[in-house]
């Protein structure tokens, strides 16, 4: 007897021999047992999942000599003829080779004749989507109302190409792809019965290569048996398929975890001996990292589709979760850039070396927190606002005194501001702006731009507690314009400030957030736009603070005066700008913080603000911050109000310019208000 391939030898001959497709078999078995038979069935699914096999089993169930049943005997003449493909009342048609309407009409001419042997005449039309539109139209009426002894079974791999009129006349069953686990289970049974030695890893390779098709898996197994001289071994299957050794992917990841560059490049050298597709190797690494992330989130959710569940679980315990996410993102970017590399192997090596060079710190005292992308602080991630990178300025502080048992805090010598007197001019009437109150006349203090950032201070400032409460008409200077300076303060200056602050431990201090934007500095917003344009095509605009319910008076007005003089920046400055002073009880201060900025607030920021107050006043204060929306104006709201007023004055100045009015009258010019920006007056020598 000639050899019969495994795909044909092990084709199921009854429903109980079917592998998978339980959702389809249950409906068919119940319909056959209850004699609720439809006249047209449509089976869809990829190649090799059992469409034709199920159609032939249905033909046996309908025509078995024992009667209509879901369990045909398989021994009667009808069952044997159907298995051998010579049953006269089972008409199998290949629609791919008979697409013309003449072929369909010839088929329909024979529908009127009764079956010769069985109870039903079964028409099995394979790849039915290949029929022409005229063939579908010719088939419609017969498919809707066939004779009682005719059953239509349609099979296709592309149901989207079928007309809706065909779909509405059939019972549609979608067959699922075979999972690697189910394929390996079936191959284990088949090879055990066939007495063929095999390795489990080889079956997993075949199961993944089959890509959901049981027939492909059986065909590949036949090929593997021939390639391995009667054995199915992992090395032979890998060589036959030309696939990557999955263990080498784990070798690369283990070298990455150990931080061993030598072992990493050695693993790449072993990979290069197989001449792999480096993009595919990177994809395999990403697949493993994806399954490791699942194992860390839900260990029981990891499948054994690759036969490496234990290794994935072990890797999930050895690799921190933030490292997994970092490596995965780095690998995705590496796949995008790999075609640009001069050499594919070199590009792959650079991706791994980049992972190794920028891996998160793994020291014992390193904080375990989500990774910070370059140039974006955690405050930006939480609030989804653009940031201004290196615009960081510290106050001018004298060098710290030598280490002593009890060093006193070093306080900067206040610098008297340069006040430009403004001539008393009767202002022209201007339209009112929808603000909670009218802005009092303020003596704006302007600073000459310089290379080194300068901190604007007032005259010698007494402590706040004994100071009488100023009136609402008191002069409140703008916050210093340190954010507009492009040159950041050198690293030693920041360290000196921290060292001069009592109770500060440099070892435990997290890194300063050097991407804060002072909310009341116009130039900082322009710098923000330039920086954000480097990262995103359309940066989101910085939202303006909402106006306060009441103007600042009393302690709130004192806080407006104090805020520009405090040696703070970064997120600490943002928190202070959105606070207001509520109560002072001796050395204990109570502040209210807008809850909208609670994402920036933590114990570290409160300590930094407390240290800045201590440094400014030269004594120890204690502050408490409550997340309550301030009713009086905060420094951020005051800066926004002044900015609105300056913009309004600039627009009125443009509208009132005689030259502008002449151009509008003679040439029909239009003023674009979105391009108007207020110009700061130059500082004059006193």
Residues 34, 29: Cα–Cα separation, whole Å:
9
CB neighbours of residue 267 within 10 Å: 21
Instruction: List, as one string, the DSSP characters of 337-350.
Output: HGGGSSSHHHHHHH
pLDDT for the residue 389:
40
pLDDT of 464 above 80: no
Which pLDDT tens digit goes with each residue over 34-92?
Answer: 989 999 999 999 999 999 999 999 999 999 999 999 999 988 999 999 988 889 999 99
Residues 516, 649: Cα–Cα separation, whole Å:
28
pLDDT of 202 above 80: yes
CATH number at residue 199: 1.10.8.60
Q: Starting at the earlier edge strand, list the strands of the sheet with 121-126.
A: 90-94, 121-126, 150-156, 40-44, 171-174
Q: How many Cα atoms within 13 Å fall on the side-chain side of residue 563?
A: 32
Domain count, the chain: 3
pLDDT for the residue 307:
67
Instruction: Let me know if 381 is exposed, middle or buried by CB neighbors in 10 A (0-12, 13-18, 19+).
Output: middle
In a domain, 199, yes or no: yes
CB 610 within 8 A of CB 623: yes
The interaxial angle of helices 234-241 and 214-227, nearest 10 deg, is 110
Which SS3 state, helix, strand or coil, does residue 232 take?
A: strand
CB neighbours of residue 569 within 10 Å: 26
pLDDT for the residue 191:
92
CATH number at residue 287: 1.20.272.10
More confident: 491 or 604: 604
CB neighbours of residue 616 within 10 Å: 22
Among 314, 326, 320, which residue's Cα sits nearest to residue 366? 320
Q: Which helix (DSSP H) or strand (DSSP E) does residue 660 occupy?
A: helix 658-667
Band of residue 656 on the pLDDT scale cut at 50, 70, 90: confident
Shared domain for 138 and 193, answered yes or no, is no
More confident: 415 or 310: 310
Percent of the chain with pLDDT over 70: 71
Shared domain for 168 and 193, answered yes or no, is no
Residues 159, 163: Cα–Cα separation, whole Å:
9
Shared domain for 306 and 325, answered yes or no, is yes
pLDDT for the residue 107:
84
In a domain, 681, yes or no: no
CB 349 within 8 A of CB 268: yes
pLDDT of 172 above 90: yes
Q: Which helix (DSSP H) or strand (DSSP E) does residue 144 occupy?
A: helix 133-144
Of 124-138, 513-527, 594-608, the range with the lowest mean pLDDT is 513-527
CATH number at residue 65: 3.40.50.300
Instruction: List, as one string, the DSSP characters of 501-512.
Output: STT--TTTPPPP
In a domain, 498, yes or no: no
Shared domain for 220 and 251, answered yes or no, is no
In a domain, 489, yes or no: no
Residues 106, 103: Cα–Cα separation, whole Å:
5
More confident: 298 or 543: 298
Which pLDDT tens digit goes with each residue over 340-350?
Answer: 999 999 999 99
Instruction: List, as one string, the DSSP characters of 161-193.
Output: GS-HHHHTTSEEEEPPPPPHHHHHHHHHHHHHH
Among 565, 606, 568, 564, which residue's Cα sits nearest to residue 589? 606
Of 47-51, 78-82, 127-131, 429-433, the range with the lowest mean pLDDT is 429-433
What values do phi and psi take at 589, rounded to 5? Answer: -110, 140
Give the number of residues written for the chain. 686
Mean pLDDT value across residues 588-604: 85
Percent of the chain with pLDDT over 90: 22
Residues 233, 255: Cα–Cα separation, whole Å:
27
pLDDT of 477 above 50: no
More confident: 478 or 63: 63
Band of residue 642 on the pLDDT scale cut at 50, 70, 90: confident
Residues 379, 377: Cα–Cα separation, whole Å:
5
pLDDT for the residue 681:
57
- Report the relative pairing of strands 622-626 and 588-593 from DSSP bridges: parallel
Q: How many Cα atoms within 13 Å fall on the side-chain side of residue 547?
A: 15
Residues 240, 219: Cα–Cα separation, whole Å:
13
Shared domain for 58 and 149, answered yes or no, is yes
pLDDT for the residue 122:
93
Final residue before a domain boundary, out of 300, 328, 357: 357
Band of residue 174 on the pLDDT scale cut at 50, 70, 90: very high
**3-state SS, one letter per residue, for 535-557:** CCCCCCCCCCCCCCCECCCCHHH
Shared domain for 325 and 220, answered yes or no, is no
Shared domain for 85 and 98, answered yes or no, is yes
The interaxial angle of helices 133-144 and 101-109, nearest 10 deg, is 20
pLDDT for the residue 516:
43
pLDDT of 685 above 80: no
Which SS3 state, helix, strand or coil, does residue 307 take?
A: coil
CB 149 within 8 A of CB 114: yes
Shared domain for 169 and 313, answered yes or no, is no
pLDDT of 410 above 70: no
pLDDT of 156 above 70: yes
Shared domain for 42 and 145, answered yes or no, is yes
CB 494 within 8 A of CB 512: yes
Residues 119, 124: Cα–Cα separation, whole Å:
16
In a domain, 113, yes or no: yes
pLDDT for the residue 618:
83
The DSSP secondary-structure symbol of 528 reads: H
Tokens matching residue 360:
């998160």
Shared domain for 13 and 143, answered yes or no, is yes
Mean pLDDT value across residues 311-332: 89
Residues 6 or more apart whose CB falls under 8 angstroms from that of 13 comprise: 57, 60, 74, 79, 83
Mean pLDDT value across residues 513-534: 46
CB 91 within 8 A of CB 76: no
Domain housing 109: 6-174
Final residue before a domain boundary, out of 241, 257, 279: 241
Band of residue 500 on the pLDDT scale cut at 50, 70, 90: very low
Band of residue 101 on the pLDDT scale cut at 50, 70, 90: confident
Band of residue 125 on the pLDDT scale cut at 50, 70, 90: very high
Shared domain for 87 and 169, answered yes or no, is yes
Average pLDDT over all residues of the chain:
75
Of 126-135, 192-201, 382-391, 628-637, the range with the lowest mean pLDDT is 382-391
Mean pLDDT value across residues 228-250: 82
Shared domain for 46 and 166, answered yes or no, is yes
In a domain, 299, yes or no: yes
Final residue before a domain boundary, out of 158, 174, 190: 174
In a domain, 292, yes or no: yes
Among 216, 241, 221, which residue's Cα sits nearest to residue 231? 221
Residues 78, 84: Cα–Cα separation, whole Å:
10
């Amino acid at each position: 007897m000639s050899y019969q391939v495994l795909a044909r030898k092990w084709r199921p001959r009854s429903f109980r021999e079917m592998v998978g497709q339980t959702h389809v078999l249950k409906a068919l078995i119940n319909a056959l047992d209850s004699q609720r038979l439809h006249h047209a069935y449509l089976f869809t699914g990829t190649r090799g999942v059992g469409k034709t096999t199920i159609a032939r089993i249905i033909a046996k169930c309908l025509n078995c000599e024992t009667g209509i049943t879901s369990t045909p005997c398989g021994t009667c003449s009808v069952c044997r003829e159907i298995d051998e493909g010579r049953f006269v009342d089972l008409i199998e048609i290949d629609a791919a080779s008979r697409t013309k309407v003449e072929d369909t009409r010839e088929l329909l001419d024979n529908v009127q004749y009764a079956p010769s042997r069985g109870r039903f005449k079964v028409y099995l039309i394979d790849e039915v989507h290949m029929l022409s539109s005229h063939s579908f139209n010719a088939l419609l009426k017969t498919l809707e109302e066939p004779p009682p002894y005719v059953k239509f079974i349609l099979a296709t791999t592309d149901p989207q190409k079928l007309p809706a009129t065909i779909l509405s006349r059939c019972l549609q069953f979608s067959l699922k792809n075979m999972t690697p686990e189910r394929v390996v289970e079936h191959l284990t049974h088949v090879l055990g019965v066939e007495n063929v030695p095999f390795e489990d890893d080889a079956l997993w390779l075949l199961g993944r290569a089959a890509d959901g098709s049981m027939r492909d898996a059986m065909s590949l197994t036949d090929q593997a048996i021939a390639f391995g001289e009667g054995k199915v071994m992992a090395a032979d299957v890998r060589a036959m398929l030309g696939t990557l050794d999955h263990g080498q992917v784990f070798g690369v990841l283990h070298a990455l975890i150990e931080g061993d560059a030598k072992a990493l490049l050695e693993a790449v050298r072993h990979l290069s001996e197989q001449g792999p597709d480096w993009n595919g190797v990177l994809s395999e690494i990403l697949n493993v990292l994806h399954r490791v992330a699942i194992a860390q989130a839900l260990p029981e959710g990891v499948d054994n589709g690759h036969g490496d569940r234990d290794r994935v679980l072990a890797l999930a315990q050895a690799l921190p979760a933030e490292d997994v996410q970092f490596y995965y993102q780095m690998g995705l970017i590496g796949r995008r850039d790999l075609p640009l590399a001069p050499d594919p192997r070199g590009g792959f090596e650079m991706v791994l070396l980049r992972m190794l060079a920028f891996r998160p710190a793994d020291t014992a005292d390193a904080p375990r927190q989500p990774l910070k992308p370059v140039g974006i602080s955690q405050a930006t991630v939480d609030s989804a606002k653009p940031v201004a990178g290196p615009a960081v300025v510290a106050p001018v502080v004298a060098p710290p005194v030598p280490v002593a048992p009890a060093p006193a805090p070093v306080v900067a010598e206040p610098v008297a501001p340069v006040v430009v007197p403004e001539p008393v001019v009767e202002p022209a009437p201007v339209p009112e702006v929808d603000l909670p109150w009218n802005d009092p006349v303020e003596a704006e203090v302007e600073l000459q731009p310089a290379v080194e950032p300068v901190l604007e201070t007032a005259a010698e400032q007494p402590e706040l507690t004994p100071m009488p409460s100023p009136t609402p008409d008191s002069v409140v200077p703008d916050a210093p314009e340190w954010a507009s300076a492009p040159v950041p303060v050198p690293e030693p200056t920041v360290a000196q400030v921290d060292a001069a602050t009592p109770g500060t431990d440099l070892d435990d201090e997290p890194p300063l957030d050097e991407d804060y934007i002072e909310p009341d500095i116009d130039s900082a917003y322009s710098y923000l736009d330039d920086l954000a344009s480097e990262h995103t095509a359309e940066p989101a605009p910085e939202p303006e603070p909402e106006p306060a319910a009441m103007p600042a008076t009393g302690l709130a007005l004192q806080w407006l005066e104090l805020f520009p003089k405090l040696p703070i920046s970064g997120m600490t400055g943002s928190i202070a700008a959105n606070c207001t002073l509520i109560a002072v009880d001796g050395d204990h201060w109570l502040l209210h913080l807008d809850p909208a900025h609670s994402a920036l607030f933590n114990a570290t920021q409160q300590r930094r603000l407390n240290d800045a107050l201590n440094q400014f006043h030269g004594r120890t204060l204690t502050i408490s911050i409550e997340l309550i929306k301030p009713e009086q104006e905060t420094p951020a709201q005051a800066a926004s109000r002044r900015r609105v007023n300056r913009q309004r004055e600039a627009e009125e100045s443009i509208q009132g310019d005689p030259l502008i009015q002449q151009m509008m009258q003679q040439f029909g010019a239009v003023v674009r208000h979105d391009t108007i920006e207020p110009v700061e007056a130059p500082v004059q020598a006193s």
